[in-house]
Copies of this chain bind each other. A is one copy, B any other.
């Protein structure tokens, strides 16, 4: 009977997808995520990937982690392999408070929801707040994985500009005022305040209370996404937005960058009533987060100098960032870029006339990968930018990747000079040319 479930009378379905007519409206907008694509490219050994955001885990104390995992399973296996609380285990939530103290956040363990990575927290907050057509204000550019979630819930994303000190308060105020005047329902401000993905900048301490004040006046909930906060190269974190207004901010945290992503454990710290909704939504989505993952991370935090490991990471990423900065100076003087104080990424501005999306296939052919700036906008901007990550490859490989990239940029510039600056379409900053057709790196 295999393959013959459908008879020809299925009115509008296609032979390729007999269920085409059955999809929900939201599913028709689902398309290949650039995040998945990055993994595919990064895994080809001959390509230097400056595209992905995989943390470098080589300095983790694997022998110790192996030992505490074995002990956990031997001593408490029937608990570690069982179902647990939908909100997350109490000892996990208490340990998370210890981590958030570095962000100057002080809340109750009851305000924490443990999730399958902070990505799930992002998904849950969007599920709880967004009806189709609601507006989310986000930085320009913004995290590609957040834009995907917002799209899945049919939100309208409006970008607001940043400079080297992060979100610009006056611009945010103007954006919110304009949206209100247009009768839009703005539900959330989504922001990555520390070592921004993809821009590499950090919201200054001075601006934080200003952003809080603007959102308070406009009754907009802040969604503060902080996976990189502990990874400043030379400093402890500055106070989180959450620390200024616990009731006005849902804070998302993650163990993926300060420890490792493999257990898929992240969290949200939310105002009480919001937290309740998030727990219900999470139970519906996954019943409960991994018990083994939570108890393993609690053991790691309790038996290892985890903040010492964070400092180790900082040194490694600083070295890699320095390698990228000096390679950019040497090989790509025709470009400009941000100078991060932490995190994984720098945001490169291409010379006039170059198109990041159009150039990507030629870059991959020259064995180097990046992410086109268009991935980080919901409105068609970004073709004049690329995101380079310095987190995963060792310094020499980063240098080689930037060298390969410079060959591609030079060849593109030659083409532009030969055929004029209009070989590429005019940069388009209007929403009618959306970024939806961004080719993902593994499609090239």
Residues of chain A touching chain B, judged by Cβ–Cβ distance below 8 Å, are 1-7, 10, 16-20, 22-27, 30-33, 35-36, 39, 54-55, 57-58, 60, 62-63, 65-67, 69-74, 77-78, 80-87, 116-117, 119-120, 123, 127-131, 134, 145, 148-149, 152-153, 187, 212, 216, 219, 221, 244-248, 256, 259-264, 271-274, 277, 279-281, 283-293
Contacts and interface: CB of A to CB of B under 8 A. Distances in A.
B286 A264 contact: yes
Contacts of A80: 262
Contacts of A130: 24
Which of A74, A134, A272 has the most chain B CB atoms closer than 10 A to its own CB? Answer: A74
This chain: copies in complex: 2
A100 to B, nearest CB: 14
A263 B287 contact: no
Given A5-B248, A283-B35, A116 B264 contact: yes
A433 B281 CA distance: 24
A208 to B, nearest CB: 11
Given A35-B287, A117-B286, A263 B145 contact: no
B57 A65 contact: no
B82 A260 contact: yes
B33 A62 contact: no
Contacts of A86: 33, 35-36, 39
Given A86-B35, A285-B119, A287-B119, A74 B66 contact: yes
Contacts of A20: 273
Contacts of A27: 127-129, 277, 281
A290 B273 contact: no
A39 B73 contact: no
Contacts of A82: 54-55, 57, 260-262
B123 A262 contact: no
Given A55-B82, A66-B73, 7 more contacts: A17-B271, A23-B128, A65-B73, A70-B70, A120-B285, A149-B285, A264-B291
A-B interface, 4 closest residue pairs, ranked by CB to CB distance from nearest: A81-B260, A81-B262, A17-B273, A5-B248
Nearest to A106: B2
Contacts of A72: 66
A58 B82 CA distance: 11
